Every structure is written in C-alpha cells, then in structure tokens.
A and B are shown apart, each in its own frame.
Chain A
Amino acid sequence: QLQLAVPVAVVFAPGSVPGDLPRPLPFRDVQEMEISVNLRAGVTSRHEMLYRSTTAREEAALGAATARETDAALHLLQDTSLGSLTVYVIPETSSLLPQGISTYVGKHRSALVRAGGGLAAFRARLQQLIQVMSFTASSIAAALSDRVPDSQLGPDARRHLKSSLGYEITFSLLNPDPKSHTVDWDIEEAVNRYVQPVLDKLSLVANFSVDSQILYYAVLGVTPRFDKESSSFLLSSHSLPHVINPVEARLGSSAASLYPVLNFLLYVPERSHSPLYIQDKDGAPVSTNAFHSPRWGGIMIYNVEAPASPQASLPLHVDVDMVRVMEVFLAQLRLLFGLSREELPPEFLVESPGNEGLADWELDHLLWAHTVENIATVSTTLTSLAQLLDKIGNIVIKDDVASEVYRAVASVQSAVAELATGHLHSAFQASKEAVTSSERAFFDPSLLHLLYFPDDQKFAIYIPLFLPMAVPILLSLAKIVREARQRKKDPTK
C-alpha cells in the first residue's frame, strides 16, 4: 500500500482569511484521498497542510507590482525542498492577478490563489492546484500503466517514457536526396542553447547524453500522395505508422549503452517530393508539420523552398532554421516526458519556465511519477525472480545476487517510507538504487533458466530404467485388479 505525502503550506495574506475557518491560525490539517489502481492495490495521496498567516517579509514580497516579480521575491523566502509546495492566498480585491484569473502558478514551487467564495469552494480549488503541481490520479495511473487495466487508462498514458536511469537523445538529419540538397544544420549551437538548459534541469531525474548525425539516402517508408489543388505532397495520418520502420534500420542503435534512445528526426524531403505536408485526421495540414511516436521520439518535416529560378544549379544549399526546429523538438520532448500543459483549467495562469524550459514544480511532477513507477518496477522484477525460483527448485543463488536482492528490498522499503513522510528527493534516490540492484540481480548470468535441467528431461534419461521395471509391477497390478473383479463377480467363492 503506497502512501504519497505532499507537504503544503497555505499562507494567508492579511485580509484574505476566510471567515469560516475551523480553527485560529496557525494550524495543521491532513486531507487523504484514495487513488485506486486495480482491485487489489491502491495509492493514498495525503496532503499535509499547514495553514498560517504571512510573515512580514512575505507581506513585503506580495506587495510587488506583478505576479512574476512576486514569484521571484517569494522564491528567496521559501523552503526549497523537492516536492513541497507553498500556496499564498491573496485578498479577493488584489490587483496582482489579471481579471478572470483566480490562480497563478509560478516558476518555482509556489502559487498565488485569489481568496473568496467560501471555505468549501476554496478547499476544492486548493485541491485542484495541488494536484496540478504534484500529481493527479491519471499521472499515477500512467506511471503504473503495467498494472492498471486498459479501460482505466487515458489515450496518453502509454505515451510517456518508461522511467530509466538514463536516456540518450539523438538528433538525426535525414537527407534522402544529397544530389539536389546540401543541408547544413548548426546542431551543436542549437543543442547548447536550447536543449542543454532543459537537460541540466532534468539531470536530477536521469543521466542524459546528446548526439547527432546526418543520414543520407534515408527515405520514409511510404510514398506521399500528390495533391493537385495545392501542388504539394501529402502524408495522411493513417500512413504515419509505416513511416518510421525503414528509417529506424539506419539510425543505428546505441551499441555502447543500455539506456533507451529518444530519436528526433528532421526530414528534408527529396526534390521530387517537396513540398511535403502532414495531414491530420480531418484532412487539414498540421501546422508544425511534425508528429511524435510514443516512447520513441519525434519526426519533423522541413520543406526546402523551391529556387526562384528553375535553372538554379544543383545541389541547392540549405541552412536549417534551428529555432523553428528546436521549438518543435522541445515540445515533443516535454510530451514524451508527460509534461504537457494542455489540460489546465482556464482560470489558471502558468508562468512560462523561461530559458530553463522546465519549472521546478514540473520537475517534481516528473519525480513523483518516476518514483512510483520505479517502486512498481522493482516489485515486478522481484516478483518474477521469485516466480523463477519457485519454478526451478535447484537453482543456485550466489551470495552477491542474494545481497543485491536484500539491498533492493531495503531500498524500496526506504523509498516507500520516505514517500509517506513527504521526502520526495530521498524517496526518488532510494527507488533508483532499488531499480539498479533488482535489475542487477535479475539479469545475473547465473540465473539463466536454460542453465538448469528441467525435471522432465532428467526423467526422460531414466526411461530405460523405469520402463522395464514398471512392466512387472504394472502386470501384477493388472492381475490384482483382475482377481478383485473376479472375486466381486463371484462372491460365493
């Protein structure tokens, strides 16, 4: 039984305290909520609230002109441990938030909420805000997608990457027609400027490595359809699943590491097939001209403008506009990590994360989900290991394998305990260690079940002994049966 505790501080600015508070400030309160995963297991989410009024410095910070400045000023005063949240309640009449916006989510781990509307409505709003900034029932269900029945999962649940200790990100430029186009991209600069800040922020979650390559004569798996009206080529959405396979053979998997690979492909269509557009289900062209494949990566089609004069000499030199490309790839990266911001209610205002590409609370969101997923993975791994041992009785467990199993169990227990007390960071670290230990134990070469003779084969070897010995026994058994029957038939004897 998993319990996730989120420490939340609710800070009331003067003039915002609701009239019907049950107790005088400050006081503590706990709200528990059950998230059912499947029939047997469930996850309890526990919001540990501390209600208090503002300090003098916080009051000063709340006096700033805009919400953004307030957020920056408040950040210096906060407890910055991972997973903890601070909600500032401001008076209903405050001009800090624009009209029609009741909730503002900052760049860090705090939010501003406009007071008003009674205690019950306020509590509901608070609940919703905390879920957005930590985890929702659906994000936990997605993290446990292996155990949740399919009917409970949303369509996006299987999009997120599995939790892993590291990821490899590969940017590939596909140029199927090097005779007509020489394509140059300044990937090094683009990675340093746009991708690296995000990865620096994510380095807490996993190790990342980035590389890039250019592949020539790599073509998509489907031939696009020519559309006379727009004199362009179209890829319909139902043919997209067939696009990746032939390209994938050329991408070259990462032979030197075991981490999952995220592929981002930039495809420059050949001259005879350009311009090329992707159509969505309704037949309208997709504005970004890109699509992503769950747990695999993304593809963007980059059309080259036809030269002004038809006599322009080939090959045509193309310099890729990396800002446009990276915008799409970063959005896809966020989607793959399950950090889309689309499902928020309209009265929420979310501060853009700026150069870092990721707000602190989004990082927490990822950590909650990954910690839960890691714990589930470890329990699955250890369960299947136990099943293997049950199946093969004479398997040899070496001391180092046993110690890895003990370590995994200890780490996973400490991760569960840390989650229940709201220490997200140490819980995540412990769950990572548990995954490492359990995988090492499970994939130990001595545990290969083919190394052990199945019992039925041992029996087969001794068939020449058992069979002739069985013959007289069976014969006499048959005789006994026959005599018994005889006796029954003739009880008078």
Chain B
Amino acid sequence: GEMLAAAALLLLLAAAGPGRAQRDALREELLLSPLPAGDMAATFQFRTRWDADLQRGAVSHYRLFPKALGRLVAALGVRELHLALTQGFWRTQAWGQPPLQAPAGAELWVWFQPTVTDVDKAWKELSNILSGIFCASLNFIDSTNTVTPTASFKPLGLANGTDHHLLRYAVLPREVVCTENLTPWKKLLPCGSKAGLAVLLKAERLFHSSYHSQAVHIRPICRDASCLAVSWELRQTLTVVFDTFTSGQGKKDWSLFRMFSRTLTDACPLASQSRVYVDISPKNKEKELLEVTPPPASVHEAIVQGDKKIYAVYDLLSPSLFNTSRSLNVQLKWKRPQDSSDLPTPVLHAQRYVSGYGLQTGEISTLIYNTHPYRAFPVILLETVPWYLRLYAHTLTIITKGKENKPSYIHYQPAQDRRRPHLLEMLIQLPANSVTKITIQFERALLKWTEYPPDPNHGFYVGSSVLSALVPSVIAMKDADVEQSPLFTSLFPSSDGSSYFVRLYTEPLLVNLPTPDFSMPYNVICLTCTVVAVCYGSFYNLLTRTFHVEEPSRGGLAKRLANIIRKFRGVPPL
C-alpha cells in the first residue's frame, strides 16, 4: 500500500510537469465483484476533483472538469447535484448490498445554495438543462412529482446548515435508459472513451445486462484536512450487472473480454490514479475457491459495508503491468463448482407491492427485513405517491412481530390534485431479526381524458420508496480505512466505526387506473351522425319528391311523339 501510494504520487508529479501545479485531478477505478447468485457486478467510478470555487469568478477556465456541468453549477447556484439513470432493478436479496443503488428510471436530487431566492424556478431550469445534456426526459419533472424530503436526503458534501427548503427530489420511474443517455455521459469524461477504463464502456454490451445504472454526483468537499477552502468533486459512476451464469453455459467463470468484448491497454494519460479492483473475498469461510489471472501485484483489505473484503488490485499506471503482455484481460476461474444454495442475506432489505382488487381501491404494502441477529436499528422510510392515488392516512399501519410499531418521527404532506404528490416520511425502529409490514390504503382517482399518457392501459408507475439507515456493522471499522478504500466508501459519511450508511430503493409499482375507452367519442359521433343522416335523408325525400299517380303506360316513345304531333294538329290522340 505504501509503495503504491508513493508510486501514484510520483506519477501525479510527473503528470503535472515542470509548469505550475495542476489544480485538478482525475482518478479512475473499476471494481469487479462476483455476486452471490452467480452474476458479476462491474462498477466504474471516475472522480474529478477541482481545487477551485465554482461559485465565484466570472471567467471560468476548465481543464478536466466538464464545462457544461461547471457552468450549470455556477449559473444556477447548485450546491450539490445527484442524477442517476437506471435500467433494471438491483435485487438486494440475491445480490447483496449494492455499492450505490439507484431506483429504476431517472432520479434527481439537488441541494441549492442559500443565495438562490426562487428554488422552484432554479429547479425547473436545472431539470430542463440536464434533460438537454443527458438526452433524458427530465423535463417532465414538475411540481406533481417533486418533493422536499425533510430527513431522508442530507447533503453528502460540505455544508453548513441543512435547511431542507433548498432541497428538491424527483423520480421518473417510467424513464427508459439507453445508448443515447450513455453517450453524453461518456463525453463528460476527460479521456472520453478513447483511453483508460472507459474503453470498456461499449453500449451494446452494457445494455445487454440485468442492471445498468449511470450516475453523476457533484458536491463541494474540503480541499485538505484543515478544510479552509472548498474543492469541487464530480463523480461519474456506472454500475452494470452481467448474468455470467446463463451467458457462460452454466459456468461462473468470467473475463473482461467476455463481459465487455474489450480489454484494457492503457490508463487514461490524464488520470493520477487508475486501478482495477477484483473482489476475491472468500465466501462462507471456505478456502480460496477462485483463481485470478494475471496474478495481481498487490492485495488490498478493507471493510466495506460491514463486511471484510479482499481485493486484488491492478494498477494501470504501474509500468510493470504492461511489460509482459500488451493488454490486461482480468480472468477469474472457479476451482470447483460452488453450490449457491446458501445465499448470505443482507442485514437490511425490503419489498413492496400493491394489493387489492377492482379499480376503485387498493393497498400499498412494504415489508422491511432486519436480519441482524441481535441489533435493532432505526430506518427512515420515504414514500412519494402521485396525487391520483388518494392515500387514506388513517389506514396507515405498521406491524412488527404481530404488534403495532409506532414511528418516532412522521412527516406527512398530503397531495393536492394536479399540484403535488403525497410525501410520507417515517422513522421506524426495526427490532433485531424481524419483519416490519407497513400498509396504507388508497383510492384511485379518475383522470381527465387529456391527462392520460400514451398507452394508459399499461398502468401508472409509482416511484420506489427510499430506505435510509445506519446499519450496525458486525466488524468494527477503522477511520483510516475510509480514505484509502476504493469507490464509494468516501461518498457517504460514516458516523463512527460501529455502523455504516445504507440507502436502499424498493421496487417501483405499476398501478392500473380506471381507464376510459378513448375511441368512444368518435364512435358516438359516428353513430349519431349516421342516425341523423338517415333521418335527414328520409325527410329530404319526403319533402322534395313530388308524388303523382302513374298512368298505365300505353305504347312507347314513338306513340307519345305521335300523340304530341296529333295534339298540334288538333287531332284526338291515339
């Protein structure tokens, strides 16, 4: 570890060159972790840190930090911005605690500076600009899906004062994430997808996966330990889960090439750190079952989310790595088939579903599991429900082990039709080894006919509910670990060594609303028109026809002509 740090420092100095010291730095990391159920999770993180205050200074000169985002932060008074675009759902129960989960669809939460006077206007403008930058439908964020949580979302960066009126939170569960969102995200990276870890980000592989989540986090951080000046940090993260089991003919072996159809050839020349971590922690206390090739130069031990983890580390900036072969293709082989019967269950996980029948009423149920054998801990639950599901607050019941569980904090903001959604925040104590069931009943509203989206019979999405908790750790963590360990451990604050922060999202819900038959008006028009036209036709005939008794005809045209001639001559007709 010491040696590596020294090497990284040397490289950093070399990159800065003989000129002035650079005020920004880029670190790129890739974490590959086999999941208990046989899938593979790959998590990329690109951290750009800029020792400058974005809020001040009229003229801005950007180097590694992307100009588009920098200008946005400066122009709209953003203090912290978190945007995640996700396709698929992280199955906590099977895959374990995610490093950084995001709800299905698009999620955006932003803290504004106290100097911003009209937060709603800035929020609207921000979501519109972001939707332009990321080609996402974020412009559909309006007052009907925006909430201001009071307890669930705290600033992750440097902040003095947490007046939650400066916070806005919105989820668009219907948003579909695809290539057009990935391309602008890649464009924000200093090296693009031309060098470094980002060469692996090939869209056709990334979207051929069980879960894909890309995120952008911008926050102010302390420049150094004394914290007298502010630096800005941009984290671009991308998590993808591959189903190696089905794609690898029943084997759980994998390699970089097999997953991404690319291998690594170099580090991004602008990065001061470029590493690949492979999670090789032994599961179930067994001896090492897996083998990684090429053999890693070093091994890093860390305690992540209450678990002791061992990582094989490949440093792309170390010159020895590409000495033997031109490219790095990390491979992992299982020595003998592992039985996946006993999956380790995570300490905290949750489930949510809609029940009830008919199109008038229904019930939302949330199940929260605490599998910790002896520790109870509190959890904050945030529910955002659209206004067209009218919640009955008096039906809210929270039941743990057959008894009613009274929340110690509750914040409920009822919805206003077409104006704002329901917001329900509760602090619930979860006893050790328990299941807590939260139910609330609702009534489905009848929308105006213009308010239905295209394909209304598909149903309406209700965004995921958010669980935030400080989960007690089984193993004590040391403070020093946090700065050293890879990836996300430094994003969330840790209160002390005995617990770690977890934020979980439940499944989004799909609810059917009473939907009218949209072709009916036209049918009615057609039918009435036909009836009217038929009546009109007969009346018209009756009014315009002249009726006369027809004489029995005698003879044809020749005879009539002869008669006319005879009439002229004064001779009686034939």
B544 at interface (Cβ–Cβ under 8 A)?
Answer: yes
* Residue interface mask B63-86, A partner, CB < 8 A = 1: 110111001100110000000000
From 245 to 297 in chain B, residues with beta carbon under 8 angstroms from any chain A beta carbon are 266, 269-270
Most chain-A Cβ atoms within 10 A of its Cβ — which of B67, B195, B525, B526?
A: B67
The answer, among A178, A256, A464, for a CB contact under 8 Å with B71, is A256
Segment with Cβ contacts to A, from B354-362, B390-398, B426-434, B530-538: B530-538
A27 at interface (Cβ–Cβ under 8 A)?
Answer: no
Contact B540 A472 (CB under 8 A): yes
Q: How many residues of A contact B (CB 8 A)?
A: 40
Given contacts A184-B19, A255-B71, contact A468 B62 (CB under 8 A): no
Given contacts A211-B71, A492-B564, contact A217 B195 (CB under 8 A): yes
Most chain-A Cβ atoms within 10 A of its Cβ — which of B18, B61, B66?
A: B61
Contact A214 B530 (CB under 8 A): no
A459–B201 CA distance with the chains assembled, in angstroms:
53
A469 at interface (Cβ–Cβ under 8 A)?
Answer: yes
A254–B69 CA distance with the chains assembled, in angstroms:
10
Contact B269 A315 (CB under 8 A): yes
CB distance from B22 to the nearest CB of A (A): 9
Look across to chain B and name the residue whose beta carbon is closest to the beta carbon of A461: B525
Contact A211 B59 (CB under 8 A): yes
Contact A461 B522 (CB under 8 A): yes
B132 at interface (Cβ–Cβ under 8 A)?
Answer: yes
A210–B68 CA distance with the chains assembled, in angstroms:
14
User: A212: which B residues are within 8 A, CB to CB?
Assistant: 60-62
A476 at interface (Cβ–Cβ under 8 A)?
Answer: yes
B94 at interface (Cβ–Cβ under 8 A)?
Answer: no
The answer, among A216, A249, A461, for a CB contact under 8 Å with B190, is A216
Contact A472 B61 (CB under 8 A): no
Contact B192 A216 (CB under 8 A): yes
* Residue interface mask A204-236, B partner, CB < 8 A = 1: 000001111110110000000000000000000
Most chain-B Cβ atoms within 10 A of its Cβ — which of A184, A315, A317?
A: A184
Look across to chain A and name the residue whose beta carbon is closest to the beta carbon of B72: A256
The answer, among B18, B58, B61, B132, for a CB contact under 8 Å with A255, is B132
A467 at interface (Cβ–Cβ under 8 A)?
Answer: yes
Given contacts A184-B19, A317-B18, A317-B19, contact A213 B67 (CB under 8 A): yes
Given contacts A179-B269, A184-B17, A317-B19, contact A256 B129 (CB under 8 A): yes
A352–B195 CA distance with the chains assembled, in angstroms:
48
From 182 to 238 in chain B, residues with beta carbon under 8 angstroms from any chain A beta carbon are 187, 190-192, 194-195
B410 at interface (Cβ–Cβ under 8 A)?
Answer: no
Look across to chain B and name the residue whose beta carbon is closest to the beta carbon of A173: B63
B299 at interface (Cβ–Cβ under 8 A)?
Answer: no
Given contacts A256-B129, A317-B17, contact A465 B62 (CB under 8 A): no
Contact A182 B68 (CB under 8 A): no
CB distance from B122 to the nearest CB of A (A): 11
From 30 to 82 in chain B, residues with beta carbon under 8 angstroms from any chain A beta carbon are 58-64, 66-68, 71-72, 75-76
Contact B537 A471 (CB under 8 A): yes
CB distance from A173 to the nearest CB of B (A): 9
User: A187: which B residues are within 8 A, CB to CB?
Assistant: 61
The answer, among B270, B536, B537, B541, for a CB contact under 8 Å with A216, is B270
User: B562: which A residues are within 8 A, CB to CB?
Assistant: none
From 311 to 332 in chain A, residues with beta carbon under 8 angstroms from any chain B beta carbon are 315, 317, 319
Q: A211-B67, A493-B564 are in contact. List 18 more A-B contacts (CB 8 A).
A: A178-B269, A179-B269, A184-B19, A188-B59, A192-B59, A210-B59, A213-B61, A213-B62, A216-B194, A255-B71, A256-B76, A256-B129, A461-B525, A462-B525, A462-B529, A464-B526, A464-B530, A472-B537
Tell me the A residues contacting B by CB distance below 8 Å.
Answer: 170, 178-179, 182, 184, 187-188, 191-192, 209-214, 216-217, 249-250, 252, 254-257, 315, 317, 319, 461-462, 464-465, 467-469, 471-473, 476, 492-493
Can you give 11 A-B contacts (C-beta < 8 A)? A184-B19, A188-B59, A211-B59, A211-B71, A212-B60, A213-B63, A217-B191, A217-B194, A255-B68, A255-B72, A464-B533
Which 10 pairs, one residue from A and one from B, show the smallest C-beta to C-beta distance? A468-B533, A465-B529, A464-B529, A217-B194, A213-B62, A212-B61, A213-B67, A252-B68, A464-B526, A317-B17
